């Protein structure tokens, strides 16, 4: 065994083991930036919401889980409006007028799809280089990446409510379907 002059091997071996454990415990470096991760989460919830809007029969768009909550159609128009407001902060677009909650299913779906189209542009506009820039004002003053995650969080919250409505109508929510 090679002995290093002045170094106590009893201390060197444990120090090496601590260093090795620390190095192994470090997460692997990801080539993704935070915006790419947000876009992946957004894409999943976007798919679920669009499929829920399609799957719910038009006759059930007026369904309310209880008398004091929004009908299913209004959940969709709420998502539409919230997305246009949030994503327009990143794209500069002017949010359009929203369809009424009692509008036809096709009109609500078209507006919903248009809001996702605008958000697609917003998610594509955020990069590793600009994701920490702040946009908006008041309660909508966020970093670009924060705004993306705000939208994902809100969309997931609304989809969770939609899933309950679907279950109450005997439908399997898209996220629970076997693929």
pLDDT at 10: 55
Which tokens in the block code for residue 109? Answer: 């779906």
Residue 121's nearest CA partner among 67, 42, 34 is 42
CATH value at residue 59: 1.20.120.450
Evaluate whether residue 114 is within a structural domain: yes
For 64, the domain range is 41-173
Q: Is 121 within a domain?
A: yes
Tell me: the pLDDT tens digits for 7-48? 554 544 454 444 445 444 545 444 457 889 999 999 999 999
Report the distance separating Cα 64 and Cα 50, nearest Å: 19
Give the pLDDT band of residue 154 (cuts 50, 70, 90).
very high
- Kindly give the pairing relationship between strand 142-143 and strand 134-135: antiparallel
Write the DSSP assignment of the chain as a string of letters.
----TT--HHHHHHHHHHHHHHHHHSPPPPS--HHHHHHHHHHHHHHHHHHHHHHS-GGGTT--SSTTS--HHHHHHHHHHHHHHHHHHHH-PPPPPPPPTTS-HHHHHHHHHHHHHHHHHHHHH--TTTTT-EE--GGG-EEHHHHHHHHHHHHHHHHHHHHHHHHHTTPPPGGGS--
**CB atoms inside a 10 Å sphere around CB 93:** 14
CB atoms under 10 Å from CB of 89, counted, come to: 20
- For residue 126, is it within any domain? yes
Residues 151 and 89: beta-carbon distance below 8 Å: no
The upper half-sphere exposure of residue 15, i.e. CA atoms within 13 Å in the direction of its Cβ, equals 6
Q: Per the confidence metrics, is the pTM higher than 0.85? A: no
pLDDT of residue 179: 63
Q: In this predicted model, what pLDDT tens digit does every residue of 69-95 receive, in sequence order?
A: 999 999 999 999 999 999 999 999 988
pLDDT in tens, 113-134: 999 999 999 999 999 999 999 9
CA dihedral for 30, 34, 38, 43, sign (positive or negative): negative
Domain tally for the chain? 1
Kindly state whether residue 27 falls inside one of the protein's structural domains: no
pLDDT tens by residue, 48-69: 999 999 999 999 999 999 999 9
2 within domain boundaries? no
What radius of gyration, in Å, describes the C-alpha atoms of the chain? 24
């Amino acid at each position: 065994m090679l002995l290093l002059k002045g170094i106590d091997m009893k201390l060197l071996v444990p120090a090496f083991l601590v260093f090795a454990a620390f190095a192994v415990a470090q997460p692997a470096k990801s080539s993704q930036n935070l915006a790419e991760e947000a876009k992946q989460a957004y894409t999943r919830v976007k798919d679920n919401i669009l499929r829920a809007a399609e799957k719910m029969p038009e006759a059930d768009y007026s369904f309310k889980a209880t008398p004091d909550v929004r009908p299913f159609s209004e959940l969709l128009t709420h998502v539409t409006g919230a997305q246009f407001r949030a994503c327009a902060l990143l794209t500069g677009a002017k949010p359009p007028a929203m369809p009424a909650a009692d509008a036809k299913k096709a009109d609500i779906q078209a507006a919903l799809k248009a809001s996702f189209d605008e958000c697609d542009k917003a998610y594509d506009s955020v990069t590793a280089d600009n994701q920490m820039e702040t946009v908006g004002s008041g309660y909508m003053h966020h970093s670009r990446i924060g705004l993306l995650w705000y939208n994902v969080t809100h969309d997931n919250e609304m989809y969770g409510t939609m899933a309950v409505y679907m279950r109450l109508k005997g439908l399997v929510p898209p996220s629970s379907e076997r693929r």
